[in-house]
Amino acid sequence: MKVTTKTAIIYVNILLIFSCLIMASCTNNTTYHHYIPIKTELWCKTDTLYFTLPDSMPSGYYNSRIGIRHTVDYPYRDLWLSVHFPGNEKADTVHLYLVNERGNWNSNGTASGYYQYETDCKNFHYEHSADSVIKVSHIMEDFYLKAITDVGIKITE
């Protein structure tokens, strides 16, 4: 097979485009992203979830998102959480709306009845020397909260 100069230029351009796309897709400002599974899909009010931030995370200002994975058996429209960020004296209250006014899930769902919902949480200042744990618990009236399968935290710059 004879490769002409024109064909070689086309191949080089295609290679450059793919290289740029790969490099752009690898650029990510996510510092931490982790989900903790809820055993038996019954989240007890006294079960605090602990998200330990990496030692390599530098001090600075960060954005946070909270994620909830649940099944169609979740019995309420919303979910109230207590989220305690490192360096803060008080925990923040986060109100998530899992169902809209028409009764439809606000989450991304699957055919098997599982849903995932993410929402912005608090922006916070992290000091590397401070406690590096984010604590999350539910503050709903029910002692056991059913159908929550996982809770996650995503920290970005």
Number of other residues whose CB lies within 10 A of the CB of residue 68: 23
What pTM, to 2 d.p., does this model score?
0.78
Contacts of 157 (CB under 8 A, 6+ apart): 29, 31, 60, 62, 63
DSSP assignments along 49-77, one per residue: EEEEPPTTPPSEEEEEEEEEEEETT---S
Count of all residues that appear for the chain in the document: 157
Task: Look at residue 101 in the predicted model and tell me its pLDDT.
Answer: 87
Number of other residues whose CB lies within 10 A of the CB of residue 117: 20
Q: What is the pLDDT of residues 71-95, one digit of tens each?
A: 999 999 999 999 999 888 899 999 9
Q: Where residue 4 falls among pLDDT bands split at 50, 70, 90?
A: low
